[in-house]
Homo-oligomer: A and B are copies of this chain.
Amino acid sequence: MLTSNFIGYNRSANGQDSFQAESPESGEKLPESFYWATDGELEETVALSANAFEVYKKVSLLARAHFLEAIAQELNNDSTAIIERVSLETGYPNGRARNEFVRTCNQVLLFAKMLREGSWVDARIDTADAERKPAAKPDIRRLLVPLGPVVVFGASNFPLAFSTIGGDTVSALAAGCPVIVKAHPLHPGTNALVSLAIVRAALHQRMPEGVFSSLHLTNEMAEQLVMHPYIKAVGFTGSRSTGLRLYEAALKRDYPIPVYAEMSSINPVVVLPGAIHTNGAVIAAGLADAISLGAGQFCTNPGLLILVNTADTEHFIRQLANATNEKAPQPMLSKAILKNYFEKLTGILSLAGVSPLHDHPAGHEEAKGSNKVKPFLFEVSGATFLANIALQEEVFGPATMIVRCDGFDELAAVLEFIESQLTATVHATSSDDIFLQQKIIGILANKVGRIIFNGYPTGVEVGDAMQHGGPYPSTSDVRFTSVGTAAVIRFVRPIAFQDFPDSLLPPALQRSNPENILRKVNGQLTSEKL
């Protein structure tokens, strides 16, 4: 029954309609039929989730940490099967699938560690002062509490790290919110194996039934779920069109809810003349690696390379073109994604002033009859770039546009013209003017959530300091991150208790500090009792 929906502790396949995953490598359909959830299954899931919330929100930080640790353990117990299924459903080589698996387990454990440490609940205690004039000062205590049931949309390109037990799910579970995953239809088998691991962990740790569910939902049903009055937040990673549709739908609810949609980004990389002159070959090789990684199917794929014309520029571009040409073709995740990639590229190549550096990837011998593509570079002048905002549309895949600017003023104009992004990258050396570097960083800092210096945007480190999220429209809400421990605050809200008896307070605010967490007491951080 791997092919069913996971509703609380049970599996359910009441629907008539089903679908099959495909192997991106072979193009063949995989044998299992997965059943789309029915209206009844959706309602049952949401009701279980709402009931689970009333219990789960009171589960201690330590018990939540144990739950996450048990999930990591259960995932590890099934690692071979999960990694194999990821490769089968995505076409990712075993090494890439294994790396994503390890990263995903580490991410689960990082949030468990955060729960054990506990300061993220931001407990604040201002004690009373009966003598204060003109009025006595009350005792006020505040902490962050979970929002309620959260819907998480699995992402096509990260079957583990941004899907069933990805960053959205684990940060919502850490926050104290039950999760309903809308499984991504490209990797339903991976979803099943991961869901089983989570359900086993929930059972062993005696979590309330409904703390986790996963459903196969058509787009229409998924929107119905987002509109459900019991749902209190949504995490989404995917295309701009779908992200905006969900974001706008959620605002039309009677009770609007946050939709954290990570949508699209072309991640500009600026390589300054000094860096090219000193280090061009190394940068070209690094960029070629970043552009081709995972067939370019990364939200942080460098889709825009910006250069200033000097005597070294032509040579650098040739180095980059050669380095990308040497990359082996890799399969894209699905025929639909491949088709979209070819169509967008064809549209761009039809525009005036766009010069390809390679043959159209649809013409490659290796591509025929498979989903495989090679990276693809094309070039425009600064003036062409500035004349057409459509050039900035994300092309999901290993395509990168090179913008050659005629001097530093045009470079600044190009940077000002770029839409907001998840990341930006600057390559510079000491021979590049420091004021120019500062100016470029200043412009980019207004537009992105993360800036990389002399590196590449594709690795997204999972830690306390990561910011993965930029100004609209790269994400729907610039104030939050979807990667790293700070992602937890997307699913909480503050509440204050005034003059409460100790026994009626949540543990994090009680006199004895039973969870032994760092709290701000009358302005001072301390883990002491009151």
B450 and A498 within 8 A (CB): yes
Q: A395 within 8 Å of B by Cβ?
A: no
Q: A141 within 8 Å of B by Cβ?
A: yes
Q: Give the CA-CA distance A349 to B193 in the complex, in Å.
A: 61
Assess A494 versus B523: contact at CB under 8 Å? Given A124-B465, A140-B466, A463-B140: no
Q: Give the CA-CA distance A112 to B44 in the complex, in Å.
A: 51
Partner of A461, one of B137, B481, B525: B137
Looking across the interface, which residue of chain B has its beta carbon closest to that of A251? B251
Interface string of A468-503 (1 = CB under 8 A from B): 010111001011110000100100111111111101
Partner of A124, one of B119, B451, B464: B464
Residues of chain B within 8 A (CB-CB) of A473 are 255
Residues of chain B within 8 A (CB-CB) of A459 are 135, 138
B99 and A453 within 8 A (CB): no
Q: A221 within 8 Å of B by Cβ?
A: no
Interface string of A238-271 (1 = CB under 8 A from B): 0000000000000100011010000000000000
Q: Give the CA-CA distance A454 to B498 in the complex, in Å.
A: 9
Partner of A452, one of B455, B498, B501, B520: B498
New contact pairs (7) apart from A451-B500, A518-B525, CB-CB < 8 Å:
A99-B134, A140-B465, A140-B466, A142-B465, A256-B476, A258-B479, A453-B501
A-B contact pairs, 30 of them (CB 8 A): A122-B486, A124-B464, A126-B461, A126-B465, A126-B466, A135-B459, A138-B455, A138-B459, A140-B461, A140-B463, A141-B465, A142-B466, A142-B467, A142-B486, A147-B478, A255-B471, A256-B476, A438-B504, A450-B495, A450-B498, A451-B498, A451-B500, A453-B498, A454-B499, A464-B520, A464-B523, A467-B494, A471-B493, A478-B493, A479-B492
B481 and A467 within 8 A (CB): no
Assess A494 versus B449: contact at CB under 8 Å? Given A464-B520, A465-B125, A499-B455: yes
Min C-beta distance of A452 to chain B, whole Å? 4
Looking across the interface, which residue of chain B has its beta carbon closest to that of A452? B498
Q: Give the CA-CA distance A325 to B135 in the complex, in Å.
A: 24
Assess A445 versus B504: contact at CB under 8 Å? Given A459-B138, A461-B137: no
Q: Give the CA-CA distance A449 to B140 in the complex, in Å.
A: 12
Report A59-74 residues with CB < 8 Å from chain B CB.
none
Partner of A496, one of B125, B438, B451: B451
A494 and B486 within 8 A (CB): yes
Residues of chain B within 8 A (CB-CB) of A466 are 126, 140, 142, 496
Q: A441 within 8 Å of B by Cβ?
A: yes
